[in-house]
Amino acid sequence: MWLNDKHVRQVTHGMRFCIRETSSENICTLRLRSEIVQWLERPLVSDINDADVIIDIDSKNSGSKGEFTIRTEHDRIVIDGHDAAGALYGFYTMLRRLSLGQQIAQFHSQPKQPIRMIDHWDQIDGSVERGYAGESIFFGRLGSNEHADIGVFPPRDTSNPFRGDIDRIIQYARFLASIGINAVALNNVNVRGDATRLILHPFLDRVKEIADIFSSFGVSTFLSVNYAAPKLLGGLGTSDPLADDVRSWWKQIADEVYKTIPAFGGFLVKADSEGEPGPMQYGRTHADGANMLADAVAPHGGTVIWRAFVYNSNQDWRDRTIDRAKAAYDNFISLDGQFDPGVVLQVKFGPIDFQTREPLTPLFGAMKHTNMLMEFEITAEYLGHQIDVNYVLPQWLEMINTRTDLENPDSEVKKTLGTNAIDGSRVGYAAVVNVGMDDNWTGNTLAQANLYGYGRMCWDDEVGSDEICREWIAQTFPELGDEDRERVFAIMTTSNATYEDYTAPLGVGFMVCKSRGHYGPGINDYEYDRWGTYHYADRNGVGVDRTMATGTGYVAQYSDSVAQMYEHLESIPDNLLLFFHHVPYTYRLHDGRTVIQHIYDTHFDGADAVARYIQLWDELRGKVPQNVFENVSRRLRLQLSNAIEWRDQINTYFYRMSGIGDERGRTIVP
C-alpha cells in the first residue's frame, strides 16, 4: 500500500537513529526500535551526536495523547513525542514527508479526534460480510486464500478459526498506525455461532496475540459481542440487562478479558437491529443495555460502543407514514443524557445506510449530552464493490463539515462531536474497513486510497480530499512522473461524482441489485418491501416526500434552519431533491434542467467518464508494475459494463415511466 518498503528505505538511506526516553520502555517504544532496525534496516545509535534522527519520548501530563513535534536542529531531525504513540506517529509522519519530498521544518501535529477506529466485519469462518478483497486477515486458515479465485478452500479447523498470519497483521497494524488509527474491532457486529465465544478462552488467548501486536502500534483492540451471550454462553435463563445474574456474568467476562488483555479497548454492540438480540426484548432501553456493559468494563477503563443502526426491518410498506430515515432519531433522541460516560453511540453518517448521497443523520447536533462516533463504510458495499473506482473522501469530508445549524459556524459535526459529549475523550469516527487477503489488500489497488484517506481525515480534518489523494498517489506510485500522477489523480478525484452520476440520481438511493449484494442496478429490488427503502417512482413523478407539510415529517428532526432548507423546493440542494421531495419529471432544478433530463444527462455522462478513465489508465501501461496495471485495467473494464448497465436500465425505466424523451435525441432504450 502507501508504505512502499523499497521507497521508504531509499528515502532514509544512510540515516542513523537515536531514541531518547525519559520514561520507562513500553511495548510501543520496543516496536519503534524494531521498526527502525528491522523494517527500515537502519542502525540505532546511543550517542545523539552520531544520529541523523533523534526521537524523544517523554510522557507528558499536558497535551493530547499521540501528539508530536518534528523540527530540524543542526541538520538533524528531532521528533518529540508526547508519549510513545506520539513518537510512533511522528516517525511515520517523517517518513511520509520524506517520501513526498516535503520539507521538515518546525511541525506540530495533534489528532483532531480522540477515537479513530476501524471496524472489521470479519467472521470466524474466514469470510467477510460486505468484503471485496478476499478472506479475513484474522480468521480462516493460513494459506487458504491461495485458491480462492477458483473457489477451492482446504477444510477448516473449527477449534482454531484464527489464520495466524502474524506477518500480515504486523504489516496491517503498521499501515493503521501510519495514518493515526488507534482502535480496531476484529469481528463482525453480527456475532453469530462460534464468534460469540471470542470473549472466552481459548479463543481469547488468540485474540490476545493479535491485540498485543496492535497495542505495540498504539492501536487498542475491541471485540463485537452478542447481546444474548449470557443465555448463549452462560447458561442463564435471560440476558435482561437489569437482572443481577446477567450483570455479574458480564462483569466476570470483562474481568477475565482484561486480565488476559490489559490494554483491551472494550465491546462493540449491534443490538435490536436487523434481527440481532438486544435489551428491548426485555422491555429495557438501549441506555439500560449499554450502561450495564459499561459498568462491567468501567473498572478497567473500558469503553462500550453501541450502534444506533436500529430500524424496523419488517416494515409494512402500505403505511406511508413509516419512514426508515426517521428511525435512528426516533429510537435514540429521548435517551440523550442517559448513557454513561463509558458509552459511545456509533451513528451512521446518513439516516439510511451508507448510500451514494444522503443528508446527515439528524442525531448529530441534536444529541447534546452523549458521546458519539460517526460511522463510515470504507468497504464499498453500495459504492461499487471495489470493482468500480470510487474515491469517497469528498463525501466523507462533506459529512464531517456539515453544519447542524446553518446559522452557527461552530455546529459542524467535526466540532459538535466534542462539544456535545459527556466525556470528550470518547468521541470520533469509526469505519468499516475494506481489506482482506488479496495481494494488494483492497481488491482494487485504487481502493487503498479510501483507507489511507479515512485515517488522514480522522487525524487532520483540515486536509482536503485532493491533497490526500495526491499524497496517496505519490507514496503508492513513486515511480510515476508528474504527468502520469495527474492521470491517476484525474480518475480518482472525479470517481465519486461519476459513480453518483451513473447510479443514484438526485439523492434517490437504494436502487441496487439485491441478488448481487448491492452491486449493479435493481431499480425496484427494495421498492415496496419490508426493508423500507423506496423511491416511489410512478408515471407522474419520483422521490420520497419527507416534508413536514405533506410528507413523513422526517424534516422536523433537523434544527430549524436546516429543516427550513430541506422543507422547501426553493432551497433544497438539487443533489438531495428526491431524498426529500416527490416531484414531477418535468420539475426544473436550480440549473434549469428538468428532473428527467438530469437523469438522462448524468447517466450518459457517468458512463462516458468511465470510458475516459480507461484511456487515462491505459497510458500507464509499463509505467506501474504489471500486476497493478492489470488489476486496475481489468476492473475499469468491468466498471464500464456496470456503468452502461446502470445507464441503460435507469434511463429506460424513467423513460417508460415518464413517457418523455431525451431532449438531445440519444438512444434511451438500447
Question: Bridge partners of 269?
Answer: 225, 306
Give the shortest CB-513-to-ligand GCV separation in angstroms: 13
Segment interacting with ligand GCV, rule: CB under 6 A, options 26-34, 187-195, 391-399, 538-546: 187-195
122 lies in the site for ligand GCV, by CB under 6 A: no
Q: Of all helices (H) and strands (E), which one includes residue 500?
A: helix 482-502
Give the shortest CB-276-to-ligand GCV separation in angstroms: 8
- Among residues 409, 424, 396, the alpha carbon closest in space to that of 496 is found at 396
Q: What are phi and psi of 513, to 5 degrees?
A: -75, 120
Answer yes or no: are the C-beta atoms of 573 and 538 closer than 8 Å: no
DSSP 8-state class, residue 132: -
Give the shortest CB-354-to-ligand GCV separation in angstroms: 7
Closer residue to ligand GCV (CB): 350 or 541: 350
Segment interacting with ligand GCV, rule: CB under 6 A, options 105-113, 147-155, 183-191, 318-326: 183-191
Q: Among 20, 33, 76, 130, indicate the residue that binds ligand GCV (CB under 6 A).
A: 130
Question: Bridge partners of 70?
Answer: 79, 107
Give the shortest CB-375-to-ligand GCV separation in angstroms: 8
CA distances to 12, 337, 425, 428 from 373, in Å = 37, 16, 11, 5
Peptide bond into 202 cis (omega under 30): yes
Enter the C-alpha cell of residue 594: 428538468
Segment interacting with ligand GCV, rule: CB under 6 A, options 182-190, 228-236, 411-419, 639-647: 182-190
Handedness of CA 575, 579, 583, 585 (dihedral sign): positive
Closer residue to ligand GCV (CB): 123 or 448: 123
DSSP 8-state class, residue 156: P
Closer residue to ligand GCV (CB): 35 or 375: 375
Q: Hey, is 374 helix, strand or coil?
A: strand
Instruction: Say whether 381 is catalytic.
Output: yes
The residue with cell 440519444 is: 666
Per CB under 6 A, contacts with ligand GCV among 374-393 are 381
Closer residue to ligand GCV (CB): 57 or 128: 128
Select which of 119, 381, 388, 412 is catalytic. 381
Per CB under 6 A, contacts with ligand GCV among 228-287 are 270
The residue with cell 510513545 is: 84
DSSP 8-state class, residue 149: G
The CB-side HSE value for 68 (13 A sphere, CA atoms) comes to: 26
Applying CB under 6 A, what is the total number of residues that bind ligand GCV? 10
10 Å CB burial of residue 444 (0-12, 13-18, 19+) is buried
190 lies in the site for ligand GCV, by CB under 6 A: yes
Give the shortest CB-283-to-ligand GCV separation in angstroms: 23
Give the shortest CB-643-to-ligand GCV separation in angstroms: 22
DSSP 8-state class, residue 480: -
Kindly give the residue spans of alpha helices, DSSP state H, lying in 280-406: 286-297, 327-332, 363-366, 393-400
Q: Among 83, 119, 135, 353, indicate the residue that binds ligand GCV (CB under 6 A).
A: 353
Give the shortest CB-130-to-ligand GCV separation in angstroms: 5
Listed in sequence order, the residues at least 6 apart from 206 whose beta carbon sits closer than 8 Å to its beta carbon are 160, 162, 164
Q: What is the spatial distance between Cα 277 and Cα 229, in angstroms, rounded to a whole number?
A: 9
Closer residue to ligand GCV (CB): 504 or 599: 504
Segment interacting with ligand GCV, rule: CB under 6 A, options 26-34, 188-196, 553-561, 601-609: 188-196
Closer residue to ligand GCV (CB): 55 or 133: 133
Segment interacting with ligand GCV, rule: CB under 6 A, options 184-192, 252-260, 544-552, 589-597: 184-192
Select which of 41, 212, 245, 274 is catalytic. 274
In degrees to the nearest 10, what's the CA dihedral of 165, 170, 176, 177?
160
Closer residue to ligand GCV (CB): 309 or 613: 309
Q: Among 17, 68, 92, 121, indicate the residue that binds ligand GCV (CB under 6 A).
A: 121
Select which of 67, 83, 272, 353 is catalytic. 353
Answer yes or no: are the C-beta atoms of 279 and 247 closer than 8 Å: no
Look at strands 115-119 and 220-225 and give their pairing: unpaired
- Among residues 88, 80, 79, 72, the alpha carbon closest in space to that of 39 is found at 88
Listed in sequence order, the residues at least 6 apart from 222 whose beta carbon sits closer than 8 Å to its beta carbon are 117, 183, 184, 185, 186, 264, 265, 266, 267, 268, 303, 305
Instruction: Say whether 274 is catalytic.
Output: yes
- Among residues 639, 630, 129, 612, the alpha carbon closest in space to that of 384 is found at 639
Segment interacting with ligand GCV, rule: CB under 6 A, options 55-63, 159-167, 185-193, 601-609: 185-193
Q: Of all helices (H) and strands (E), which one includes residue 347?
A: strand 343-348
Closer residue to ligand GCV (CB): 165 or 353: 353
Q: Among 28, 185, 189, 542, indicate the residue that binds ligand GCV (CB under 6 A).
A: 189
Closer residue to ligand GCV (CB): 268 or 523: 268
Closer residue to ligand GCV (CB): 228 or 563: 228
21 lies in the site for ligand GCV, by CB under 6 A: no
Instruction: Say whether 570 is catalytic.
Output: no
Per CB under 6 A, contacts with ligand GCV among 292-311 are 309
Per CB under 6 A, contacts with ligand GCV among 417-456 are none
The CB-side HSE value for 662 (13 A sphere, CA atoms) comes to: 18
**Interacting residue ranges for ligand GCV, rule: CB under 6 A:** 121, 129-130, 188-190, 270, 309, 353, 381
- Which residues participate in catalysis according to the annotation? 274, 353, 381
